[in-house]
C-alpha cells in the first residue's frame, strides 16, 4: 500500500543538473511515487540568484537561504548539487543534524572530506549517497559498493572526464594539436572557459580518490592521488603511440599492490593498446574498467557528464534513499576496515615510452642502454631515426618502478650525446 504523505525533498542548487532533477521529479512524479512507495514533493530550492526564471519550478519554492531550508525539520532528503567545499560541507552536515539524508554529486568535497561526512551521517542515522559524483549516468558507485561487495577488487582503471577524452580523441582522429582540440571542445561546450580542473587532472583525481576508497575499503583522500595533466601531449606522441598499436587516454588508475599490502591512485596520460576496451571510448564518453578476483574483467560505459545524465544518477540515489527512509533503514556507509597504506608514485610499476633527442653518431645507443641497465630498467624495444647529425631515439621499457625510471632519466640528461628528453609516457592496459 502506498503511503499518502509525501517525502519532502530540498534541492540545493538549480543549475544545469539541479534544474534537470527538478524537471524529472515533476514530469515523472507518478512513476517515482510508484517505485518508492510514497510520493516525493519538492519542498524548496536554494539558489544564489532568485530572479532568474526557472521553468517548471514554483517561484514560491525558491530561496536564497539554504541554511534555513535544511534546518526546517520536515525535510526528508537534501539533494546537494551546488559543488565546491563550502558552503556545501556545512549544509550537508546541518542536514544530517536536522534529520535529513543527503544525495550529493560533489566529487571535490567527497574526495577531500568523505570520511567526515560519512561519520556525520552515521552519527545521526542518515544516508549519504553520491552516485552522480563519478562518471555521470554510469552506474558505478553502487556496483562497487554493493554488487561487488563480496569480491576482491584489484584494479579500477578508466576514463572519468569527458572533456579530456574529447580533446585526446580529436587529436588522435584528426591529427589536431592540443590547443586546436581544446578550442573546439570549448566552442562545443565540452570545456569550461577555464579548463584547468579538467585538463590538469584535478577533476579525475577527485573521482579516483572516491573510487579507490570504495574499491579497496581504505580511506583515500585527494592529496593521496598522483596527478599529471595532459597539456604536454603532442601530435608526435600520438604518432609514436600509433606506431606501437596504441592510442593515448587520460586515465584514472587505482590498484592494489601485487602483495595486497598497499594501494595506489593516480591520474595521468597513458598509451593503451588499441585492443584494450578503453581505447575505443570516443568523444566525451566515460568508461571504467574493473578487475576483480571472482568477477574477472568488467567495463562500465556511458555519458559521464551533462544535465540529464547526471540528474539520472541523482534520481537513482533519491529513489534508494527514500525507500530506505520508508523502511526505517539506511544503506551502506563508509567501508574503510582494510585501512591499507597508500603508496607513493615512486613505487608504481608500469611500462614506459621515452623519446630522446640524441646525437647521430656511433656509440649513442650503447651509452643509453648502459644507463638503463645501471638503473635496473630493462629495455623492450628501441627505434632510432637520424638525419644531419641529430637523431630521435624511442625506447620502450619492460615494467619498471617510477622511481627507477626517474633515476634513469636524470642520468640520461647528463650524457653529452643526449640533447634532450622529448617525452615520457606510461604504457598501461597490457
Catalytic residues: 207
Asked whether the beta carbons of 233 and 171 are under 8 A apart, the reply is: yes
CA–CA separation, 102 vs 126, rounded Å?
8
Query: How many residues are recorded in the chain?
Result: 430
Bridge-based pairing of strands 349-359 and 400-401 is antiparallel
Number of H helices, E strands in the chain: 14, 17
CA–CA separation, 35 vs 322, rounded Å?
10
Please name the residues in contact with 297: beta carbons below 8 A apart, sequence gap of 6 or more.
289, 290, 291
Residue whose cell numbers read 563550502: 86
Cα-only R_g, the chain: 24
CA–CA separation, 64 vs 66, rounded Å?
6
Bridge-based pairing of strands 128-129 and 390-397 is unpaired
Please name the residues in contact with 370: beta carbons below 8 A apart, sequence gap of 6 or more.
none
Burial-class residue 102 by CB neighbours within 10 Å (0-12, 13-18, 19+). buried
CB atoms within 10 A of CB 207: 28
Asked whether the beta carbons of 75 and 100 are under 8 A apart, the reply is: yes
Q: Which three cell numbers stand for residue 358?
A: 640524441
CA–CA separation, 182 vs 247, rounded Å?
18
Asked whether the beta carbons of 13 and 105 are under 8 A apart, the reply is: no
Asked whether the beta carbons of 69 and 75 are under 8 A apart, the reply is: yes
User: Kind and range of the H or E element at 262?
Assistant: none
Asked whether the beta carbons of 270 and 428 are under 8 A apart, the reply is: yes
The separation between the first and the last C-alpha atoms of the chain, rounded to the nearest angstrom, is: 53
Bridge-based pairing of strands 77-80 and 390-397 is unpaired
Q: Which three cell numbers stand for residue 307?
A: 544535465
Taking the mean position of all CA atoms in its chain, how far away is CA 362? 46
Amino acid at each position: 500500500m502506498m503511503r499518502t504523505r509525501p517525502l519532502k525533498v530540498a534541492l540545493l542548487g538549480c543549475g544545469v543538473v539541479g534544474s534537470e532533477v527538478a524537471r524529472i521529479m515533476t514530469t515523472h512524479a507518478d512513476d517515482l511515487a510508484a517505485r518508492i512507495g510514497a510520493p516525493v514533493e519538492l519542498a524548496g530550492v536554494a539558489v544564489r540568484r532568485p530572479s532568474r526564471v526557472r521553468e517548471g519550478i514554483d517561484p514560491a519554492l525558491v530561496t536564497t537561504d539554504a541554511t534555513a531550508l535544511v534546518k526546517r525539520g520536515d525535510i526528508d532528503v537534501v539533494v546537494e548539487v551546488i559543488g565546491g567545499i563550502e558552503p556545501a560541507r556545512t549544509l550537508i552536515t546541518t542536514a544530517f543534524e536536522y534529520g535529513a539524508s543527503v544525495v550529493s554529486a560533489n566529487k571535490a568535497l567527497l574526495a577531500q572530506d568523505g570520511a567526515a561526512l560519512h561519520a556525520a551521517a552515521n552519527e545521526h542515522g542518515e544516508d549519504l549517497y553520491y552516485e552522480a559524483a563519478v562518471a555521470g549516468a554510469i552506474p558505478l558507485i553502487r556496483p562497487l559498493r554493493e554488487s561487488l561487495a563480496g569480491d576482491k577488487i584489484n584494479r579500477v582503471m578508466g576514463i572519468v572526464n569527458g572533456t579530456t577524452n574529447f580533446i585526446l580523441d580529436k587529436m588522435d582522429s584528426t591529427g589536431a594539436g592540443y590547443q586546436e582540440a581544446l578550442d573546439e571542445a570549448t566552442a562545443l561546450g565540452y570545456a569550461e572557459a577555464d579548463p584547468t580542473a579538467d585538463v590538469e587532472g584535478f577533476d579525475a583525481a577527485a573521482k579516483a580518490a572516491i573510487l579507490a576508497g570504495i574499491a579497496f575499503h581504505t580511506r583515500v583522500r585527494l592529496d593521496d592521488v598522483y596527478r599529471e595533466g595532459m597539456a604536454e601531449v603532442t601530435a608526435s606522441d600520438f604518432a609514436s603511440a600509433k606506431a606501437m598499436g596504441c592510442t593515448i587516454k587520460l586515465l584514472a588508475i587505482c590498484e592494489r599492490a601485487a602483495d595486497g599490502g598497499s594501494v595506489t591512485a593516480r591520474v595521468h596520460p597513458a598509451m593503451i593498446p588499441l585492443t584494450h576496451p578503453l581505447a575505443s571510448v570516443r568523444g566525451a564518453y566515460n568508461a571504467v574498467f574493473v578487475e576483480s578476483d571472482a568477477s574477472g574483467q568488467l567495463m562500465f560505459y556511458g555519458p559521464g557528464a551533462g544535465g540529464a545524465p547526471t540528474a539520472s544518477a541523482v534520481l537513482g540515489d533519491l529513489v534508494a534513499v527514500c525507500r530506505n527512509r520508508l523502511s526505517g533503514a539506511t544503506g551502506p556507509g563508509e567501508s574503510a576496515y582494510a585501512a591499507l597504506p597508500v603508496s607513493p608514485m615512486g613505487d608504481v610499476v608500469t611500462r614506459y615510452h621515452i623519446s630522446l633527442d640524441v646525437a647521430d653518431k656511433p656509440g649513442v645507443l650503447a651509452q643509453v642502454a648502459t644507463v638503463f641497465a645501471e638503473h635496473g630498467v630493462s629495455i623492450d624495444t628501441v627505434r632510432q631515426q637520424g638525419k644531419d647529425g641529430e637523431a630521435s631515439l624511442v625506447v620502450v621499457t619492460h615494467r619498471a618502478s617510477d622511481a627507477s625510471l626517474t633515476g634513469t632519466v636524470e642520468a640520461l640528461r647528463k650524457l653529452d650525446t643526449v640533447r634532450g628528453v622529448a617525452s615520457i609516457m606510461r604504457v598501461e592496459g597490457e
